[in-house]
Amino acid sequence: MRRLLATLIACLSCQAWAAGSDYQLTPVAIAEGVYSFIGELADFNPSNGGNIVNTGFIVGTEGVVVIDTGPSRRYGEQMRTAIARITPKPIALVINTHHHPDHFLGNQAFADAPIGALAETGKGIASEGDAFAENLFRMTGDWMSGTEVKAPDQVLLAGPLKAGGRSLILLALKGHTDADLAVFDEDSATLFAGDLVFNLRAPTTPHANIAQWKDALRDLDRFMKDHRVRVLVPGHGPIARDALPIAWTRDWLTWLDKSLRESAAEGLDMNETLTRPLPDAYRDIPVSGSEYRRSVGHLFPAAEASSLQHSH
């Protein structure tokens, strides 16, 4: 009887565990040997466990290249399990596109593989990683248990790179953060754009420099044409077979920048700027209201400062 009870309790807690910890990661084949895990169009919350991001992997002749590792150790582990169902090949290289938490906190699951990123990304993870992880714990809860910062151990540079038997081209850009890496797979003509490109999901701006970001989008646009990119994987939002997500991201940033400058020039303060309505085109975009308000916090002080004049 006691044993039955114990089994019952074990089952119940087992079910509770399953409900709150399975990201249900399903690899979507997006090109020959290229897969992506598509995240929710939402903010970090306790029901999605931080799975709001697009990650991916490329299967080469010798091994697998992993692009971003998700928001938690658990995500990384489940991602690795899902990869193993597709191929028995070893992990040749893990790439972190930039230093935001949903892109690298799964690194622990790949601790036995080389993990590479741009130099500035490595520095950002080392200095801000713990604070990011703490914040994600607060926002998603138990999904994060066991997650610790595992910083990249390889510095990646712009240019061609052979990994796992695939030929990649790395693009070192900036604007979403101080270091944003885009990864192009030559064989499949797939471009993983990281968070330089959002698609029908409001962009995030905690470390953004909008002028640099728009320059990066111009470079990506040109790259798409020059290399006949067939598949574009944005950091957040649906995968595309054209360059429209680049234009979409550029339009959002242009609107945001203009709107904040206008607001400052009209004399509005931050509270008044926060309550300005979004244009019709953005009202139904997922998380547009909350991302706009976050962006006001990040970017309005600078817009405001440049609207004021020196007094003597």
Partner 1 sequence: MIKLASTLACAILLITAATTPVLAAERATDPLDSPRWSDMEKGILSGAPYVFDARVRVEAPATAENPLNVPITIDATALADVKEILVFADFNPILEILRFYPDAAPAYIGFRVKLQQSTPVRAAVRTGDGVWHVGGTLVNTVGGGCTAPSMGSTSSEWQKRLNEVTTRTWNEGPMSGRLRMRIIHPMDTGLIAGIPPFHLESVVLSDEAGRPLARLEVSQPVSENPVFTLSRGSNAGALHARGRDNNGNTFNVRIPQ
Least Å distance, CB 252 to partner 1, is 18
Cβ atoms 210, 248 nearer than 8 A:
no
The dihedral region occupied by 194, where left means phi > 0, alpha psi between -120 and 50, and beta the remainder, is: left
Query: Does residue number 308 form part of the binding site for partner 1 (CB under 8 A)?
Result: yes
What is the C-alpha to C-alpha distance for residues 200 and 234, in angstroms, rounded to an integer? 10
Site string for partner 1, 119-158 (x = CB under 8 A): ----------------x--x--------------------
Q: Which is nearer to partner 1, 4 or 308 (CB)?
A: 308
Residues 200-209: b if buried by 16+ CB within 10 A, e if exposed: bbbbbbebbb
Query: Does residue number 268 form part of the binding site for partner 1 (CB under 8 A)?
Result: yes
Q: Which is nearer to partner 1, 80 or 207 (CB)?
A: 207
Q: Which is nearer to partner 1, 5 or 305 (CB)?
A: 305
- Per DSSP (E only), the strands in 96-187 are 115-117, 154-155, 159-163, 166-173, 180-185
Query: Does residue number 294 form part of the binding site for partner 1 (CB under 8 A)?
Result: yes
What is the C-alpha to C-alpha distance for residues 292 and 298, in angstroms, rounded to an integer? 10
Give the number of residues in contact with partner 1, rule: CB under 8 A: 23
Q: Which is nearer to partner 1, 68 or 291 (CB)?
A: 291
Tokens of 149: 């910062």
Q: Which is nearer to partner 1, 24 or 309 (CB)?
A: 309
Q: Which of 88, 146, 267, 277 binds partner 1 (CB under 8 A)?
A: 267
Q: Which is nearer to partner 1, 88 or 267 (CB)?
A: 267
* β-strand partners of 183: 170, 192
**Beta-strand relationship, 115-117 and 91-95:** parallel
Look at the block and give the residue holding tokens 């909008």. 210
Query: Does residue number 311 form part of the binding site for partner 1 (CB under 8 A)?
Result: yes
The dihedral region occupied by 267, where left means phi > 0, alpha psi between -120 and 50, and beta the remainder, is: left
Query: Does residue number 297 form part of the binding site for partner 1 (CB under 8 A)?
Result: yes
What is the C-alpha to C-alpha distance for residues 79 and 37, in angstroms, rounded to an integer? 8
Torsion sign across C-alpha atoms 148, 154, 160, 164: negative
- List the Cα angle 25/26/30 in 5-degree steps: 130
Least Å distance, CB 35 to partner 1, is 34
Q: Which of 86, 149, 274, 278 binds partner 1 (CB under 8 A)?
A: 274
Q: Which is nearer to partner 1, 165 or 206 (CB)?
A: 206
Least Å distance, CB 45 to partner 1, is 13
Site string for partner 1, 226-265 (x = CB under 8 A): ----------------------------------------
Cβ atoms 91, 110 nearer than 8 A:
yes
In the complex, which residues of this chain contact partner 1 (CB under 8 A)?
A: 135, 138, 266-272, 274, 293-294, 297-298, 301, 304-305, 307-312
